[in-house]
Chains A and B, each alone.
Chain A
Amino acid sequence: MTKKLFKDRDDFWRLICGIIAILGFLLIWHFGTNGTRLGEIMPGPIVILKSFFEAFTQKTAGYTIFGHTFWSLSRVLVGYSVACVLGISLGLLMGRYRLAEAIFRPFYEMIRPIPPIAWISLAILWFGLGETMAYFIIFLSAFNNITINVFMGTKSINQELVGCAKMLGANEAQVFRTVVIPATIPYIFAGMQIGISSSWAAVVAAEMVRSSKGLGFLIVSGMDINNISQIFVGILAIGIVGFLLATIMRGVEGKLCQWNVRGK
């Protein structure tokens, strides 16, 4: 299926086809909404692009689009960092020590099947309407994914390597630092990668349910005032930031784990 021969020419045609597809989609959208019944509720692409660029300077609900993005990102940063630290440590502990697994695994298995979003109601009652609620939801959704990946990774370590290190006189701390952690790094990154996208989705959900700033709030307030182009501006920004976050994570992984196939 993969022929190397025409690679460059294929890339050229791929680009052309991509442009045609997107242009065609925009044209259908444009003419579908221009002067038709559908157009009465649905704005065309031009209107949406215009309001997207207007949102750079114009303030909606007190912030420009950058302000809202900044608020969402700062929430993700807090929740995600805590989730990384706790999730990686818990995953490593549970995977390495049978005792830690026996203690923590039941609780983890209880929490895991509940979608993090379902915690929103409880979190609001416990932590109030402030930032803590959003941090908690983001933390949960990243934590679930990171822990399971790190745990599975630690479990799948080749026990012969651990045995070798022990035989050569390594103590537990050395085994942990030089065998367990390096072998788990690819899984840690896999978990962090899934974690960042799920926490980005979680921040949107948390802000939609209850917030006064952030991208999730932007789209839900667009719904409340029946402003579809504002919703699309929000969706566009969410998509772009989500894409950038995933790309950055993949880039970091590629740089740090060049020795690993998954890192490619």
Chain B
Amino acid sequence: MKEKKYTLISIAAVAIFLIIWQICAAMNPGGMLPTPVAVVKAFFLKFTDKNPDGATMLVHLGASLKVALSGYLIGLLIGIPLGICMAWYKKFDWFARPLFDLIRPVPGIAWIPLMIILFGIGLLSKSMVIFISSFTACVINSYSGIKQTESVHLWVGQIYGASNTTQLFKIAIPTALPMIMTGMKAALGTSWGALIAAELLASTKGLGFMIQQSRGLMRVDIIIAGMAMIGIVGALLGVLLNLLEKLVLRGGRW
């Protein structure tokens, strides 16, 4: 009963906000704030309308997703094993850690200009930026995940004659999986942000390109529609990862 009341309050808050927005925006037409109705209209119109930036919303979305997912997957494929190796093999850690610590404090976004000069403005340069952004989060999280393994568990393994590799795969990696999943989620967030930054700076399609073009044309309604799309897709990808996490972890039963 009480929960229902709070849900109603939430709905009322959003409704009041939208009404105030509508009134404010309707009072000064031609201003930098379109009405929420106009935004919703622009959002749905953009699915079929190529104006003003040359492609429909879905084409932009597809371009963005291609770049983001390719960079992100490479980041996972290299970052997670690297983090695991660094945590498990001490000697490897001694060599790899100083190099990793060199690039770690640099935000992935800062590499954009260099990548554009080296690889042009196509898929490769943007995927590289996203790769770097997701890579660091994956390495750090899988590293600390492996380090969480309790010595007692490893001793049990040793007593029963498990080899070093068996201990790694049967004890340490299962322990680390929740942390690895956390790293994957963090990496997704940063890479989605880095993608938008890369597209704002230099690209010919993609959601970031769309809002950048609309800025030049003062089409605030399309900007907000694009931001909504970015938010929705980012949230959806997060939901997918959560599902994957449930599937993989299954309540820690291994």
Number of residues on chain B facing chain A (CB within 8 A):
60
Q: Tell me the B222-244 residues at the A interface (CB within 8 Å).
A: 223-224, 226-228, 230-232, 234-235, 238
Chain B residues lying within 8 Å of A53, measured Cβ to Cβ, are: none
> Which one, A201, A220, A226, A240, contacts B201 given CB within 8 A?
A220
Interface 9-mer from A83-91, A181-189, A227-235, A250-258: A227-235
Knowing A121-B200, A125-B220, the reply to whether A103 touches B9 (Cβ < 8 A) is yes
Chain A residues lying within 8 Å of B114, measured Cβ to Cβ, are: 219, 223, 228, 231-232, 235
Separation of A9 and B237 alpha carbons in the complex (Å): 46
Separation of A179 and B10 alpha carbons in the complex (Å): 28
> Is there an interface contact between B215 and A118, defined as CB atoms closer than 8 Å?
no
Interface 9-mer from A109-117, A158-166, A169-177: A109-117
Chain A residues lying within 8 Å of B192, measured Cβ to Cβ, are: 115
Show 9 A/B contacts (Cβ-Cβ < 8 Å), sorted by A.
A101-B6, A114-B227, A115-B192, A117-B196, A121-B200, A124-B215, A125-B223, A238-B106, A242-B105
Q: Does A41 contact B (CB under 8 A)?
A: yes
Q: Does B214 contact A (CB under 8 A)?
A: yes
Separation of A175 and B97 alpha carbons in the complex (Å): 45
Separation of A242 and B103 alpha carbons in the complex (Å): 11
Q: Does A192 contact B (CB under 8 A)?
A: no
Number of residues on chain A facing chain B (CB within 8 A):
61
Which A residue sits closest to B210, measured CB to CB?
A121
Chain A residues lying within 8 Å of B211, measured Cβ to Cβ, are: 118, 121-122
> Which one, B99, B116, B147, contacts A22 given CB within 8 A?
B99
> Is there an interface contact between A1 and B193, defined as CB atoms closer than 8 Å?
no
Separation of A48 and B112 alpha carbons in the complex (Å): 18
Report B83-97 CB contacts with A as 1/0, cut-off 8 Å.
000000011001111
Interface 9-mer from A58-66, A149-157, A204-212: A204-212
> Is there an interface contact between A208 and B113, defined as CB atoms closer than 8 Å?
yes
Chain B residues lying within 8 Å of A110, measured Cβ to Cβ, are: 231
A-B contact count (CB 8 A): 160
> Is there an interface contact between B32 and A125, defined as CB atoms closer than 8 Å?
yes
Q: Does A243 contact B (CB under 8 A)?
A: yes
Q: Does A259 contact B (CB under 8 A)?
A: no
Q: Tell me the A9-34 residues at the B interface (CB within 8 Å).
A: 10, 13-14, 17-22, 25
Which B residue sits closest to A223, measured CB to CB?
B113
Knowing A41-B117, A121-B214, A228-B117, the reply to whether A205 touches B151 (Cβ < 8 A) is no
> Is there an interface contact between B193 and A116, defined as CB atoms closer than 8 Å?
yes
> Which one, A1, A105, A118, A238, contacts B154 given CB within 8 A?
A1
> Is there an interface contact between A243 and B227, defined as CB atoms closer than 8 Å?
no
Q: Does A99 contact B (CB under 8 A)?
A: yes
Chain A residues lying within 8 Å of B201, measured Cβ to Cβ, are: 208-209, 220
Chain A positions near chain B (C-beta within 8 angstroms): 1-2, 10, 13-14, 17-22, 25, 41-42, 98-99, 101-107, 110, 113-122, 124-126, 197, 200-201, 204-205, 208-209, 216, 219-220, 222-223, 226, 228, 231-232, 234-235, 238-240, 242-243, 246
Chain B residues lying within 8 Å of A201, measured Cβ to Cβ, are: 107-110
* Other A-B pairs beyond A1-B154, A102-B9, A115-B234, 6, CB < 8 Å: A1-B147, A102-B6, A105-B10, A201-B109, A209-B200, A242-B106
Chain B residues lying within 8 Å of A240, measured Cβ to Cβ, are: 105
Most chain A CB atoms below 10 A, which of B91, B215, B234: B215
Separation of A231 and B106 alpha carbons in the complex (Å): 13
Knowing A114-B234, A118-B227, A232-B114, the reply to whether A106 touches B13 (Cβ < 8 A) is yes
Separation of A152 and B116 alpha carbons in the complex (Å): 39
Chain B residues lying within 8 Å of A235, measured Cβ to Cβ, are: 106, 110-111, 114
Chain B residues lying within 8 Å of A17, measured Cβ to Cβ, are: 91, 94-95, 98
Q: Does B118 contact A (CB under 8 A)?
A: yes
> Is there an interface contact between A99 and B215, defined as CB atoms closer than 8 Å?
no
Chain A residues lying within 8 Å of B224, measured Cβ to Cβ, are: 122
> Is there an interface contact between A122 and B220, defined as CB atoms closer than 8 Å?
yes
Q: Does B58 contact A (CB under 8 A)?
A: no
Separation of A95 and B197 alpha carbons in the complex (Å): 32
> Is there an interface contact between B94 and A14, defined as CB atoms closer than 8 Å?
yes
Q: Does B208 contact A (CB under 8 A)?
A: yes
Chain A residues lying within 8 Å of B113, measured Cβ to Cβ, are: 208, 219-220, 222-223, 231
Q: Does B149 contact A (CB under 8 A)?
A: yes
Chain B residues lying within 8 Å of A120, measured Cβ to Cβ, are: 200
